[in-house]
Amino acid sequence: MQSLLSNYCVVKTLLKTRKTGKTEPKAELPQITDSTAEFEESLNVVLKYVEDVLSDKVAPDNTIGRNLLKLVQAVPKMSQDELDTMMSANIKVG
């Protein structure tokens, strides 16, 4: 769970993009690839925990539940078109 909340590489890339408004695909791609793999692994851990709680295999932990709720609420609500536009606008080509 902690790696999901503190994935340094993803945060570093996002902060750089936020600060400059642009990202350089070639320079950032290996870092993003590695970070995405780590993030996917963390999501699988969270998914397993949620499934185990829902099937009564483990007792729910209120702290984890609150942190998951905060994460879900932090995700911006946007359509696929809005996401595509945002991603396209923030990539510097060349």
**Residue 20 lies inside a defined structural domain of this protein:** yes
Cα–Cα nearest to 53, from 42, 43, 64:
64
Give the domain extent around 29: 2-89
Number of domains in the chain: 1
pLDDT over 50 (residue 6) = no
- Whole-prediction pTM: 0.54
State pLDDT tens for residues 33-86.
888 888 888 888 989 999 999 999 999 999 999 988 988 888 888 888 888 887
**Residue 94 lies inside a defined structural domain of this protein:** no
**Residue 60 lies inside a defined structural domain of this protein:** yes
At 9, the amino acid letter reads C
